[in-house]
Amino acid sequence: MELTALDGQRFRFDAGTLSLEFLLTGGEGELARWEQLHRPEDLAAWIPRSRLGVGGPVEVSAEELAAARRLRAAVRRLAAGAAGGSRSFAAADLAALNEAAAAPPPAPVIEPDLTRSWAPPVTGAQFLSAVARDAIALFAGPALDRVRMCEGDRCYLLFLDTSRPGARRWCSMDRCGNRHKLRTRRDRNPPG
C-alpha cells in the first residue's frame, strides 16, 4: 500500500497481513490525525484498497463504522503489546476480536476464469469478521513472534515480518531504513 508521510514523502508499506494493514486507516490519541474513517463511505472506499481483494460493491452502515473503530483500537493495542514482547493481553481487546469474528466473513466465489472474488455486496460486518479472524490467527499462532513496530523515530507502523530471516526492522527501507542509514553515516563522520 502506498502511504504519504507528514513531510510529504510517499513510500510503499507492506503490513504483511490484513489485520495490521487495517491499522493504516487511523487510530486514537496521537494517531487521530491519520484518521481516514470519518463516515461509513470512507470505510466502504477503503475496503477495496485492502489486501482482501474486494472488487465488487461494498456496503457499510454507521454501526459498522463504529464497530470498525473499536476493533481497530483493540487490534492496535494487541499488536503494539505483541511487538513489545508482551504475552498478556487485555480481556476486553480479545473479546472485541471474538465478537467481530463471530459474524460470517465474506463468502468466496470462483469465477468462470478461475479467479476468486467475494459474493457481493461485501458488508462492513463481513469485512470486520475477516479482519478479526486474521488477527486471531496472528495472535494465537507462531507468527505472534513476528509482529513488529517500525524502529524509526516516532514511526508507529506495525507489521508482520514475513521475511525468511525474520530481521525486518523498518516500515520501509525507503523511509525509516534510509533515514537510519543516513543518521549512522552522519554519526560516524561528524561535520567539522
Nearer to Zn ion, 40 or 152 (CB): 152
Q: Which stretch binds Zn ion (CB under 5 A): 6-14, 88-96, 103-111, 152-160?
A: 152-160
Q: Is 15 in the site for Zn ion (CB under 5 A)?
A: no
The single residue among 58, 60, 152, 168 that binds Zn ion, judged by CB under 5 A, is: 152
Query: Shortest gap between Cβ of 39 and Zn ion (angstroms)?
Result: 28
Contact criterion met (CB below 8 Å) for 10 and 2: yes
Q: Which stretch binds Zn ion (CB under 5 A): 10-18, 68-76, 87-95, 144-152?
A: 144-152
**Chain position carrying cell 494487541:** 78
Which of helix, strand or coil describes residue 158? strand
Q: Is 150 in the site for Zn ion (CB under 5 A)?
A: yes
Tell which positions 155-174 bind Zn ion, by CB under 5 A. Answer: 155, 171
DSSP string over 103-159: S--PPEEE-TTS-EEEPSSEEHHHHHHHHHHHHHHHHTSGGGGGEEE--STT---EE
Instruction: Summarize as ranges the residues that interact with Zn ion (CB under 5 A).
Output: 150, 152, 155, 171, 176
